[in-house]
Amino acid sequence: MDSRYLPALFEKKIYQFWEKNGLFKAKIPKDKKKETFCIILPPPNANADLHLGHAMYVYEDIMIRYQKLRQKEVLWLPGADHAGFETQYVFEKELQKKGQTRFDFDRNTLYQKIWDFVISNKSKMENQLRQLGFSLDWEKERFTLDPDIIKIVYQTFKKLFDKKLVYRAKRLVNYCPYCGTSFSDLEVIYKERKDPLYYIKYPLKNSQSITVATTRPETMFGDTALAVNPKDKRYKSLIGQIAVIPLTNNKIPIISDQAVDLEFGSGAVKVTPAHDFTDFEIASRHHLPIKQAINFDGRLNELAGKYQGFFISQARKLIIEDLKKENLIEKINENYSHRVATCYKCGRLIEPLPKEQWFIKIKPLANKAKKLVENGKIKIYPRRFKKNLIDWLDNFHDWNISRQVVWGIRIPAYRCKKFSTGSNIDSYFSSDPNSMPEGSRRNPWFVSVERPAHCQICGGNDFIQDEDTFDTWFSSAQWPFATLLTIDGKKNFYNYFYPTSVMETGYDILPWWVARMIMIGYFATDKVPFYHVFLHGLVRDKSGKKMSKSKGNVINPITMVDKYGADALRAALIFGVKEGNDVVVSEEKIIGMRNFTNKIWNIGRFIWINSKSTKNKNSSLTNGLLEKMAKEFKEEKKRYLKLMENYQFSRAFGLIYDFLWHRLADFYLEKLKAKVNNGNIKVLKELEKVYFGNLIMVHPFMPFVTEAIWQSFFGENQTILNQQL
């Protein structure tokens, strides 16, 4: 063994050894009863390099290597996510550098350009996973845009459609005019901020007026009523009267509705169903018309008259100036605090806008998923997240899965032109897809897994495919079963490894992904997608702040690997971290784990040197100390196995850390060093037994240094991965 352990000299060579010898390759054994352990890698986005959050896959590698040492048949299946909207957003930034936009290309050209961009980045990301030592079965790698994966996504969508669990309706959606797409509720970030609250006078007959408070005067051109609370005595006499929208001659009724907050503003509110979710519900109850005054590009349309074509912020300024001239502003509260919806990606304001989209009817799926969690069919670690998951399943809204981006899996839904012509399809609004009277119009949409040769509604050829793509979370919700179903085309791996053993991911995507995998997975397969869910925390800097490029506190995982070795980084992400808590990482902590790597090496080197020069002496004077060491090691291993089985990985690693450094190195080696140096074979063999036992236990956490040491003792064709815990 070399006098020093230099990771750069060993890590690449060792990983190539693992791959060359097929040590990560899963197979279906002749004995089908052999216990399995399977994890499907949460697929990283294929559009960029790895960040430190991806290094948290170390938890999965720990589980996989541990279970392999427990002699199970293991599979850790890698993959990559096309990340529809996310990737198109990143690619558009690349286009901006060249002075281009997505609108400069037709659909197919833009798709191909993004494809080329993704494929070039995908291979870089995969090599970075190798650098971190992850024991992935690369031969079975999947991509969310693989044709066979897409086919399964289509089959699931059709099954939902046939079971009437997916429907198309024109409803308000969360829309970002800047990004050009709608989002589900989970992708909206609500922020507290201060804006002017305008008190605007709506004229009534006899020179009277009613004052309405709003932060969004530009939406008034889409007003279809004013509303007051039926309990509000101030306005009881006005219910049923007609008001005039300021700056227009448009007349609207004054109605009463329980949803109106008596304490907000003047107690009277404008009802703008096309631009506010609460107003949309009021309009549904009172059968009010829906008038869209803001287009999807964020500009006011023809309903706004002379303000048509202006962006919202520009129009608002002009409208307020004109309202003041007409003496229609009663007052302005300049610092009104309220929560606003923002796009999780660009940070700009979300516009509620009416749009036909595909929605999944969530309640039936969520109720079944909830039972699986409640009855323990799926166990959650740490256990405190079980309640969080159940709360999400109780409160999900129907899921909007349509996205207005080119990059992704195009929705396999087709519209019959014959039966949609003249049906005024765009006027149909419903918060309940079953509320439309039977036979009021024929549904012009059909779903087909294969590209249809003929329209399945009229039998003709005049039909078009939906332009939208699926929300990426819809395809990734199918990842556990879609990957396994497509490995060999015969369901062999699916039948053997599904349901999978563990889904490990960050607690922050519990509702986004974990809940949806349970709902969709159980619907599609009648089986749970995984038996256990293990959640890790977010990675933060040494001050506890979330890492971001703008703050300048980002730690590049590959830079740390190059400086200190993969083992040091991996250990720093685990050491001293309570499961499910956020992970505080600093370069100093990584250096500390590099020092532990060196300690493991130095213990091994001491034993290795003496194993080459022993004189085979024995002494009874050390029997008591050796028995004590053996007993302590036995207790350590027992505790280690219990902790690992209970998903308490940090405590298991801390146990080995303390034993190797403080008991074996600082105590037993110091007491026994002289005996070993004098050639006492019995002492040496007992030290070897305890040291090798700890080497195997620490291997899942620090695979490179342990493999390097093992091969130093037993030859380059030997691997620690074939040992048994």
And the tokens for 22? 């097929």
The residue among 318, 343, 368 that closes a domain is 343
Residue pLDDT, tens place only, 125-167 = 899 999 999 999 999 999 999 999 999 999 999 999 999 999 9
Measured CA to CA, the distance from residue 697 to residue 634 in angstroms comes to 12
Residue pLDDT, tens place only, 399-426 = 999 999 999 999 999 999 887 654 433 3
pTM, whole model, 2 decimals?
0.89
Determine, yes or no, domain membership for 93. Answer: no
Q: Is residue 516 classed exposed, middle or buried when 0-12, 13-18 and 19+ CB atoms within 10 A define those classes?
A: buried
- Average per-residue pLDDT in the chain? 92
Residue pLDDT, tens place only, 44-69 = 988 878 888 899 999 999 999 999 99
**Nearest by Cα to 165 from 394, 391, 399:** 399
Write the Ramachandran bin of 202: left for phi over 0, alpha for psi from -120 to 50, otherwise beta: beta
Determine, yes or no, domain membership for 554. Answer: no
Please identify which residue in the block is written with the tokens 């080119």. Answer: 406
For the chain, the straight-line distance linking the first and the last C-alpha, in angstroms and rounded, comes to: 25
CATH number at residue 214: 3.90.740.10
Instruction: List alpha helices for 21-106, DSSP H.
Output: 58-69, 84-97
**Residues 219 and 276: beta-carbon distance below 8 Å:** yes
% of the chain at pLDDT higher than 70: 95
Count of beta carbons in the 10 Å neighbourhood of residue 400: 22
And the tokens for 295? 């287009």
Determine, yes or no, domain membership for 241. Answer: yes
Measured CA to CA, the distance from residue 15 to residue 662 in angstroms comes to 30
DSSP strand pairing (225-228 vs 251-256): parallel
Please identify which residue in the block is written with the tokens 């409640």. Answer: 374
Determine, yes or no, domain membership for 715. Answer: yes
Establish whether the linkage from the previous residue to 382 is cis, with ω within 30° of 0: yes
Which residues touch 496 (CB under 8 Å, ≥6 apart)? 28, 32, 36
DSSP letter assigned to residue 715: -
And the tokens for 640? 């280690």
The residue among 320, 343, 366 that closes a domain is 343
Q: How confident is the model at residue 183 (pLDDT cuts 50, 70, 90)?
A: confident
Instruction: Determine the pLDDT at residue 622.
Output: 60
Determine, yes or no, domain membership for 284. Answer: yes
Determine, yes or no, domain membership for 570. Answer: yes
Instruction: Determine the pLDDT at residue 15.
Output: 97
Measured CA to CA, the distance from residue 537 to residue 580 in angstroms comes to 5
Residue pLDDT, tens place only, 77-115 = 999 999 999 899 889 989 999 999 888 999 999 999 999
Determine, yes or no, domain membership for 657. Answer: yes
CATH number at residue 665: 1.10.730.10
**Residues 458 and 415: beta-carbon distance below 8 Å:** no
Count Cβ neighbours within 10 Å for each residue of 573-598 and write b for 16 or more, e otherwise. Answer: bbbebebbebbbbeeebbebbbebbe
**Nearest by Cα to 583 from 132, 129, 55, 65:** 55
Residue pLDDT, tens place only, 606-665 = 999 988 775 665 555 567 899 999 999 999 999 999 999 999 999 999 999 999 999 999
CA angle 445, 449, 455 (to 5 degrees): 40
The residue among 289, 321, 343 that closes a domain is 343
Residue pLDDT, tens place only, 690-720 = 999 999 999 999 999 999 999 999 998 899 9
Number of domains in the chain: 2
The DSSP bridge partners found for residue 213 are 199
Instruction: Determine the pLDDT at residue 16.
Output: 97
Instruction: Determine the pLDDT at residue 619.
Output: 56
Determine, yes or no, domain membership for 659. Answer: yes
Residue span of the structural domain in which 281 resides: 185-343
